Each structure stands twice: as structure tokens, then as C-alpha cells.
Chains A and B, each alone.
Chain A
């Protein structure tokens, strides 16, 4: 509160002190310096050949130092091959969307930026991105080269606006040791809801804080149950919600029944914020998570013995969520052709292979489906398969954040206030409709 300004001053002072006497510079900073140096080298080369160098600014969030370093090395290769283009990599730390949106408001946005599918509708509506169809044609890039569910997600009004750079789906992560202890056969891709529930019952031991399944009040997990039950979160035109339709309510009843029967729990029940950690600790035998859990487990819980399968099917078949990010070009870009060449390079088969083999992200090109890496990494392969099995983008239209919030609250009301599922979901749907009305 009142300490805020004080805190800011102190933080600034502290930052100055730290900057002044920082002995061990983290690796990220070192990498940045190297790249900048190499950019300078390129400049010298270009001076000899009098050519117009196009400057392209590229912004994304910095997920991890390793990932940033990888992108920078790709950009370095690109500049070596394309001396007429200078790529300025400007990662945004902190709140990416607030920074990006304010920079668009000020007309200073980068030429290329990351676009999350969740935020995509607002950017389409206000027409701030460049359609890529003509540019794609200029290099002979075809839509069909990419996984359909991904490239379609970034298309609107018959135009492609973004080239998906990577993606994630949800997989059912299971703890092999706990399955062996309970005398259960390991899950397969053919599992159903009944198998899931039966296994959760056998795996749970609430007295020891061990639960069968993680069922967080999380809008990034729950919707797959609605899909598997033949329902949807929004209508196809995103003008209304289906959260209070019978399919969704039934899915909600199934999802929350795990915690009610003490065969499932939310992370807070065992004192954690994220179920990935709980899974690593062996307290949740099964969790629905994306590929991001794989490097996390490798780093934090190297000894865990786990497997991944695609989410068990519900009464109405498979259902999964796709989390994906694309490269898009700003409509105000002065060098769209140069920007396209950067994107073209970064989403090329060679570049995607390099990223995949580093273990950070899954490739979006269909041609990499049969790659050696996926054959030797069954966990990543299960996440990859998800995109080809009826998965839908994690995107709820212009009121996406409200839909997420209401879904979370609907589950929280059931969990924390024991409200009946039906009433809670109806309440959520009503607020979402109100938010949709506010858009007009």
C-alpha cells in the first residue's frame, strides 16, 4: 500500500547497488552480449557491400534463459545467411501483453511478435496484424505444411495471420511407481473416464496426502472434460457460452466428483500452487499437464518414474486443448518482406528440428511428425499426438479472460463453498453473457 512508492525507490536503489557490484552475471546476459557483438560484425561486412539493410524488430516473452539463448543462436544463423537483414531481438520481460498492447497504442510495436492463440481474437478484431497469405506465396510456403489445427487457429476471415511456432496439448501424466504399488496396469491411449476413475480410487490414500488425480480449478484443464462429453465452452461464433449446457454441467459434475470422493484434490489441498510440483513429489498419481512439465520434472524431480498418454476419452470421445503461439507481423511494419523472411527461417523445418531436439517445444510442421526425436521421447510424442486427435485451441473469443475467470470461479464455488455444480455453472454462464453484452 503506502509502501509501494517507497518500495519502488528502494528496489531501484537496490537494483543500482546490485548492478554496480554484481560479480556473477547470469548466463542470459552473457549470451545477449555475444549476439550483439556478432551483429556488429555483420555490420562491418555489409559496409563493404553497399546494400540497404532492413531492420526487423522481434519481441517475445523470455520463457527461460536457455530458450532465449536458443532463439538467439537461430537468429545468429539467420543473419549469417541473410546479411541484408538486421534482426533486433527485444524480449519483453514482465507483463508481455500489457507491454505489447501499450506499444501498439503508441505505434512503436515490433515488426514481429509472439501471438498467443488466447489473445488472437482481440488482435484480429482491431486489425493490427498483417495477413501473411501473399508473403507465404512469395516463398512458396503452403498452409498444408503445418498441423491443420494450429494454422487454422491463427487464420481468420479466410486469411492466415500467424505462423505457429510451437504448441502444447494436455497429456495424462502418470506416476509409474504408484501404479505398480497399487497393482494397476499403466494407462494407455485407449483409456476412458471409467478407467480414470477406477484407477484414481485405487491410487488414493488421503491419510498420506496421496491422491489419484489432480483436479485443479483451472480453466486450462477442465474444458477437455467438456469436449470429451460432447460439449463446448463457447458457441462456434463465440457469441454465446455453452457452459450451462447439460454436457458442460455433466462434465463439471464428473470433474468435481474426484475431490468430493477424496480420490482427487486441488494443489492447495496439499500446500502447493501448481499440480506439476505435487506430481513431482509423488502426491498426485495422475495429472493433466502439457509438455512444459517434462523439462520441469527433469530439472526438479529427476528421479520420478513417469509416463504420458493422451487424455482418456469421455462418453463422446476424445477431447484436448491446444496451447499455441505464433509469429505475427505488425500491420505497421516498414519491412514486411524482411520480417517474413525471419519468420520463414524460424519456422523452417531445420529450425524447428533444432528447437525440438533441445526439448523446449514441439514443432508445428507436419513433416516432423515422423522424426527420430519423437520416436525416442514417448512423453513428448504423446503431447504431439494430442494435436492430431480432435484437440481444440485454448481460445474463447474476445471475452477469453472473463470466460477463464468464470470457469475457475465456477469450480471454486463448488470446491470452496459446496455450491451445486449446476447452479455454479449457470451463474458463470450468466456473467459471461453479461460480458459479451458489454462488448457491444
Chain B
């Protein structure tokens, strides 16, 4: 048996190998257009930006190697500690440490929980059998399919000193021009825009939970609240992880609303890391492309660390599923 089957088996294996190779070739052929774009516009760009982060580069003359000076100027460690009076100011920009970093963390800390909660509540409501459910879903999702620039412009009107918001509530707040309110106004816009998408994700997660579990819980005599706490939330955990992660990454990169609504002002109260990168790279008369690239990599590192931590936290409090 074995003597006669060996050549057959090897021939089979050979053919299988050839087929696998053919399949791989087909796969790569199909992948080629994407791979090309990915390599040129993502891998190469990131690599080049990484190189630029170690240079001084103002776009008009060729980049000069600068080592870690760009990173030093971004972090501006000298400004972390109190300086004696009349000591010379360190040669670096403390805008990142003093404004952009705290602002970005504050933004994330407020926006992520709020939008997650609101979208979860919305999704839960939309999962009930109520009338006009589809209409409501569409309405809640609408901001997400609208351009954020357009929404930002509409909010600029709504929140202008003589705008609708002040008229309705009889307020005299200069929302976007007062350092005390501007950032919160932008947060509102963002929560308004993203909650729809997150609601949809939660809704999909909710509908994925087998009804058998709810029925079993009901038979065991669990009330609505208990079902929500002990069935819905644990079953939604992977979805929550996803929503929070996407939310955190998005918040760390917040840019367009700020660009349109306040341009980082008033008095830097809405300057975030992403906006600062843009400012250094394109707004300044003397472009600081190297410093901006360095900050971009610092931002990437921050997002990486925060996401890992968050995974730990959410994993630690139960199972993250798959």
C-alpha cells in the first residue's frame, strides 16, 4: 500500500503546492492596486515623516539633520519645572506641554464617556419596539453622514452671540470667543456628530445578543435593570471596547471642528495636538515641518500607549470576548 501511494501522495502534494502558489498569485494580483497605494501613500509617507522628525525643515530649503532637537523642542522639558525669576527662557515651544497636551486629554476625558453613554442610551431606545423607530434612527444618524465642516459652520451660527442658542435660553454668552466656553462648545459639536455612528454600532451589538439569554434571565426572575446590568452590558463588552477605542483615537486627533470654528483660539483654549501639528507645519511664516513631524510621532505614541492601557482596563474588568 505505502509503496504504491507514496508517488501519488507526493504528486498530489506538488499539485496542491502549485495551486496554492497560483492562488497566492491571484490574491496578490487583486491586492496590487491597494498595496501600491498603501506603500506609496502610507508606508513611504510615514517613513519619510519619521525621517523629517529628526531634521529642521522649512520646505523652502532642504532638510538639515537635527537629531533629537525637534523632539526636545516639542517636549520642552525645561518648562516643566519652575524657573528662577529672570532666568533666560528655554529655546523651545511650551505650547504642547502647556496647552495642546492638557487640552487634548481634557477633550478625550469629557467627549469619550459622554458620547459612549449617549450613543448607548440612544441605541437601547432604538432597540425597543417603539413607533417611528426607523425615522428616529435615520435622524440620529444624519449628523454622521453630514460633512463635519458644514456642521461646524452651522454651530458657529447657532452659538454666535446673537445666535439661536442665546436667544432661546436668554443668555449673553460669547460661546466661541470666550476662553471659558469655546472648548466645551466644540466638544458639544463633536458629541453631536459622532453619537449617531456609535449608536449604530451599539445597535448592531445589541441585536447580536441572543434572545435566549434574555428569556432565560426572565425565567430566573431577573428584572429589567438586572437584565441590562448582567446580560446586556457583559455581552456588549467587545462592542464597548471598540466604541471607546475608536472614540479615544478620534478624540486625540480632533482637528476639523477646531480648524473651522476657532482656529485654536481664543488664547489657545482650543489648541489640540493635531491642530498644533497643522499650525507648525503650515500656518507659521517660518514652517517647522521637522518639529511638526516629531509631534505627530509623539501623538502616535500617546495614542498607542493609551489604547494599550485601555485594553488592559477593559480586559481586566471581564472578558473582552474574542
Residues of chain A at the chain B interface (Cβ within 8 Å): 1-4, 6-7, 10-11, 14, 95, 97-98, 101-102, 104-105, 118-119, 121-123, 125-128, 268-272, 398-402, 408-409, 412-413, 416-417, 430, 433-434, 437-440
Q: How far is the CA of A414 from the CA of B118 in the complex (A)?
A: 39
Q: Mark B239-267, 1 if CB is under 8 A from A, else 0.
A: 00000001101110111110000000111
Q: Is the CB of B249 within 8 A of A434?
A: no
Contacting B190 at CB < 8 Å: which of A1, A123, A268, A408? Answer: A1
Residues of B within 8 A of A104 (CB): 59-60
B239 to chain A, nearest CB (A): 16
Q: Is B58 an interface residue (CB 8 A)?
A: yes
| B249 CB, min distance to chain A CBs, angstroms | 7
B111: chain A residues within 8 A (beta carbon): 1
B114 located at the interface, meaning its Cβ lies under 8 Å from any Cβ of chain A in the complex: no
Report the separation of the CA atoms of residues A430 and B85 in the bound assembly, to the nearest whole angstrom.
Answer: 14
Among B89, B197, B286, the residue within 8 A (CB) of A433 is B89
Q: Which B residues fall within an 8 A CB radius of A?
A: 58-61, 73, 89, 91-93, 111, 144-145, 147-149, 160-163, 174, 177-179, 190, 193-194, 197, 246-247, 249-251, 253-257, 265-268, 281-287
Q: How far is the CA of A4 from the CA of B147 in the complex (A)?
A: 8
Q: Determine whether the beta carbon of B285 is less than 8 Å from that of A122.
A: yes
**Pair A4/B255 contact, Cβ less than 8 Å:** yes
On whether the beta carbons of A430 and B163 are closer than 8 Å, the reply is no
Question: Are A3 and B161 in touch, CB under 8 angstroms?
Answer: no
A-B contact pairs, 25 of them (CB 8 A): A1-B193, A1-B254, A6-B144, A7-B147, A7-B148, A11-B147, A95-B282, A98-B282, A101-B59, A105-B60, A121-B285, A122-B60, A122-B287, A125-B60, A128-B60, A271-B160, A271-B161, A398-B285, A398-B286, A401-B284, A409-B267, A413-B267, A416-B266, A417-B179, A440-B91
Name the CB-closest residue of A to B157: A271
Task: Give Cα A16–Cα B179 distance, bound, in whole angstroms.
Answer: 39
Distance A76 CA – B91 CA, assembled complex (angstroms): 52
Question: Distance in Å from the Cβ of B306 to the closest Cβ of chain A?
Answer: 15
Q: Are B284 and A2 neighbours in the complex by a CB distance under 8 Å?
A: no
Contact A402-B284, Cβ < 8 Å, known A2-B249, A3-B250:
yes
The answer to whether B58 and A122 touch across the interface, beta carbons within 8 angstroms, is yes
Q: Are A438 and B60 closer than 8 Å at their CB atoms?
A: no
Q: Check if A400 sits within 8 Å of B162, measured CB to CB.
A: no
- CA of A268 to CA of B176 in the docked complex: distance in angstroms? 9
Contacts of B284 in A (CB 8 A): 401-402
Residue of A nearest to B91 (CB): A437
CA distance A164 to B291 in the complex (A): 33
Given A399-B285, A400-B285: A126 in contact with B61 (beta carbons within 8 A): yes
Query: Which residues of chain B have C-beta atoms less than 8 A from A270's C-beta?
Result: 161-162
Residues of the A chain whose Cβ atoms lie less than 8 Å from the Cβ of B254:
1
Q: Which residues of B contact A126 (CB under 8 A)?
A: 58, 60-61
The answer on a CB contact under 8 Å between B286 and A399 is yes
Q: In the complex, are the beta carbons of B145 and A10 less than 8 A apart? A: yes
What chain A residues lie within 8 Å of B249 (beta carbons)? 2
Contact between A10 and B147, CB atoms less than 8 A apart: yes
| Nearest opposing residue in chain B for A128, CB measure | B60
Contact B256–A4 (Cβ < 8 Å): yes
Contact residue among B60, B144, B147, B197 (Cβ-Cβ distance under 8 Å from A123): B60
Q: Which B residues lie within 8 Å of A97 (CB)?
A: 282
Q: At the interface, is chain B mostly helix, strand, loop or mixed?
A: loop
**Residue of B148, B197, B265 with most partner-chain A CB within 10 A:** B148
Which of chain B's residues has its CB closest to A99's CB?
B282
Measured CB to CB, the nearest residue on chain B to A439 is B286
Residues of chain B within 8 A of A400, CB atoms compared: 285
Residues on the A chain within 8 Å of B178, using CB: 416
Question: Which 8 A-B pairs rank lowest in CB-CB distance, beginning with the nearest?
Answer: A2-B250, A271-B162, A126-B60, A1-B250, A400-B285, A271-B161, A98-B282, A101-B59
The reply to whether A1 and B253 contact each other, CB–CB distance below 8 Å, is yes
Given contacts A417-B267, A430-B89, contact A1 B257 (CB under 8 A): yes
User: Residues of A contacting B144 with CB < 8 Å?
Assistant: 3, 6
Are A4 and B285 in contact, with the CB atoms below 8 A? no
How far is it, in angstroms, between the C-alpha of A105 and the C-alpha of B255 when the chains are bound? Answer: 25
A9 to B317, CA, bound (A): 37
* In contact, A268 and B91 (Cβ under 8 angstroms): no
Residues from chain B with Cβ under 8 Å of A122 in the complex: 58, 60, 285-287
Q: Are A271 and B282 in contact (CB under 8 A)?
A: no
Distance between A341 CB and nearest chain B CB, rounded to angstroms: 26
Q: Which residue of A lies closest to B282 (CB)?
A: A98
| Interface-central residue, B160, B190, B266, by most chain A CB under 10 Å | B266
Q: How far is the CA of A105 from the CA of B246 in the complex (A)?
A: 35
Known: A105-B60, A126-B61, A438-B73. A412 touches B267 (CB 8 A): yes
Please, which residues of chain A bring their CB within 8 A of the CB of B91?
434, 437-438, 440
Contacts of A10 in B (CB 8 A): 145, 147
A439 contact set on B, CB distance < 8 A: 286
- Most chain-B Cβ atoms within 10 A of its Cβ — which of A3, A7, A272, A399? A3
CB distance from A409 to the nearest CB of B (A): 6
Report Cα–Cα, A207/B60, bound state, in Å. 52
Docked complex Cα distance between A414 and B32 (Å)? 59
Chain B residue contacts of A105, Cβ below 8 A = 59-60
CA distance A97 to B282 in the complex (A): 8
From B174, B179, B194, A2 is in contact (CB under 8 Å) with: B194
Closest B residue to A398 by beta carbon equals B286
Question: What is the bound-complex CA distance between A437 and B89, given in angstroms?
Answer: 9
* Closest-CB distance, A101 to chain B (whole angstroms): 4
A128 to B178 alpha-carbon distance, docked (Å): 41
